[in-house]
């Protein structure tokens, strides 16, 4: 669903009328044609230049009248763009595959003084390239359109810039600032039924059964009474069966504990499955790697928080976005909000120091693994004793519309990426692919069973 942020963008500017390039060009070409007619002593150039000069004179005579406040040559242009609150982009609960992406409805209202002949609107809807439209004032007064909500995270749903056009397009006003509506679209949350846990549980309280003795867990063994043991732990039946004077036996249980989970998202790039769009400024609408990363991080954070575990968040694309693992509803909302606001930075930099983690934590590294930084960090954390799971969020690649040399470059990138993932698995890092729901659930069950065997 959409975040309930500002639903309205308004721009209002007061500018003067200026000559359009068409009128200036008509004057220049007309004067040159008349001069050429006199120099060449031929009438044909004058027949071309005279109508242009006459048209320029009529356009100058029909310049816009002064404004209502008596200031000549001024026009006030305003634009108002709103988005319906019913715009939805997924369900914050379990996600169900949709046949078509949800849409947001945008309503645009424009107005201008001086009663211009037309209004020029520059529209940018969603992530598409801006388009120009020439409309009459009545047609531009109230317009509406729909924007498919394909991506999650912060995005601009729509922007509109407008300027007035005078009679015969001889006079135009200067364009004002754009009116834009930006919203944060929450990612879908996939159901996570099985949760992998760290190799060692070091928390003091929680819902998971640890390997150390304590209170609240399952039966562990029967041992002799030691100073500090509680009297209610004495097993009188075991003591009577032992038949030893002065010796008491107690029932020991395993302690319950919580897990510390770090979600590390590599938001330095955002790529769709269409390889031909990787270098385009306005790619075609498709689910991207950062959409899958937000979905995976949000789903895992909500599932672990519901189990009472401590969840932290780190963004490799920005230095200041680090949330240490904590428990509680307020911290869960902070983590989910940080995930919702994650956006691609487009800057490639290397961290001098790896982020510090809690002892014995479970680390999820979510990224495309197209470079060495996330793989190096994952191997560093694994060597420090943490359990690390690499989550592959790169969509299935579509090599259509690629030139032969680009296909060869894609094969090279795929080979380097496959070698990098093999290196991760060889270093003890476990792999989870998030694209296919059925394979993802089977992989989560295998990761959970692997921890139990250890």
CA atoms within 13 A on the CB side of 425: 9
Residue 3 lies in a domain: no
- Reply yes or no on whether the pLDDT at 94 is more than 50: no
Same domain as 284, residue 390: yes
End-to-end CA distance of the chain: 40
Q: Give me the pLDDT at residue 147, please.
A: 84
CA angle 80, 83, 84 (to 5 degrees): 135
Residue 140's domain comprises: 8-18+64-185
Same domain as 218, residue 362: no
Q: In a 10 Å sphere around its CB, with 0-12 CB exposed, 13-18 middle and 19+ buried, how is residue 322 labelled?
A: middle
**Residue 69 belongs to domain with CATH number:** 2.60.40
**Residue 434 belongs to domain with CATH number:** 3.40.50
DSSP 274: B
Same domain as 139, residue 124: yes
When divided into structural domains, the chain yields a total of 3
Same domain as 375, residue 392: yes
Q: Give me the pLDDT at residue 70, please.
A: 41
Q: pLDDT band at 95, cuts 50/70/90?
A: very low
DSSP 8: E
- Reply yes or no on whether the pLDDT at 219 is more than 60: no
CA angle 401, 404, 405 (to 5 degrees): 115
Residue 36 lies in a domain: no
Residue 59 lies in a domain: no
pLDDT tens digits, one per residue of 167-182? 777 888 877 778 888 8
Helix (H) or strand (E) holding 123: strand 118-125
Same domain as 356, residue 333: yes
Same domain as 222, residue 166: no
Q: Give me the pLDDT at residue 66, please.
A: 55
Residue 388 lies in a domain: yes
Q: Once rounded to an integer, what is the mean pLDDT over residues 46-57?
A: 86
Cα–Cα distance measured from residue 366 to residue 393, given in angstroms and rounded to the nearest whole number = 7
Contacts of 284 (CB under 8 A, 6+ apart): 272, 274, 277
C-alpha distances in Å from residue 16, one per residue of 13, 153, 173 = 10, 39, 6
């Amino acid at each position: 669903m959409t975040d309930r942020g500002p639903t309205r963008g308004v721009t209002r500017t007061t500018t003067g009328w200026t000559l359009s390039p068409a009128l200036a060009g008509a004057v220049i070409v007309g004067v040159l044609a008349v001069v050429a007619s006199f120099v060449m002593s031929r009438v044909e150039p004058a027949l071309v230049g005279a109508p242009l000069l006459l048209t320029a004179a009529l356009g100058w005579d029909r310049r816009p009248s002064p404004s209502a406040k008596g200031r000549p040559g001024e026009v006030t242009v305003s634009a108002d763009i709103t988005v319906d609150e019913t715009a939805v982009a997924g369900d914050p609960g379990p996600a169900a595959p949709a046949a078509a992406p949800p849409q947001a409805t945008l309503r645009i209202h424009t107005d201008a003084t001086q009663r211009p002949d037309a209004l020029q609107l520059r529209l940018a809807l969603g992530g598409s390239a801006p388009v120009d439209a020439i409309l009459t004032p009545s047609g531009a007064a109230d317009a509406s359109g729909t924007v498919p909500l394909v991506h999650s995270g912060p995005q601009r749903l729509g922007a509109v810039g407008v300027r007035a056009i005078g009679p015969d397009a001889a006079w135009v006003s200067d364009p004002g600032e754009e009116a834009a509506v930006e919203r944060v679209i929450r990612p879908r949350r996939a159901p996570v039924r099985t949760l992998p846990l760290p190799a060692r549980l070091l928390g003091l309280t929680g819902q998971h059964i640890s390997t150390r003795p304590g209170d609240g867990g399952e039966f562990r063994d029967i041992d002799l009474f030691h100073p500090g043991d509680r009297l209610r732990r004495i097993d009188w039946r075991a003591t009577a069966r032992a038949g030893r004077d002065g010796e008491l036996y107690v029932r020991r249980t395993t302690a319950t504990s919580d897990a510390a989970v770090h979600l590390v998202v590599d938001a330095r790039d955002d790529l769709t499955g269409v390889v031909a769009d990787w270098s385009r400024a306005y790619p075609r609408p498709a689910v991207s790697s950062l959409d899958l990363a937000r979905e995976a991080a949000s789903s895992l954070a909500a599932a672990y928080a519901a189990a009472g575990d401590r969840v932290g968040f780190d963004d490799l694309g920005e230095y200041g976005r680090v949330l240490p693992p904590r428990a509680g509803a307020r911290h869960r909302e902070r983590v989910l909000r940080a995930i919702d606001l994650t956006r691609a930075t487009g800057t490639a930099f290397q961290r001098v120091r790896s982020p510090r983690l809690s002892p014995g934590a479970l680390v999820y590294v979510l990224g495309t693994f197209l470079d060495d930084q996330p793989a190096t960090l994952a191997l560093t954390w694994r060597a420090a004793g943490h359990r690390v799971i690499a989550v592959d969020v790169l969509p299935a690649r579509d090599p259509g519309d690629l030139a032969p040399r680009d296909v060869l470059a894609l094969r090279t990138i795929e080979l380097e990426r496959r070698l990098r993932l093999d290196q991760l698995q060889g270093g003890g890092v476990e792999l989870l692919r998030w694209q296919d729901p059925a394979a993802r659930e089977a992989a989560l069950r295998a990761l959970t069973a692997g921890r139990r065997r250890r």
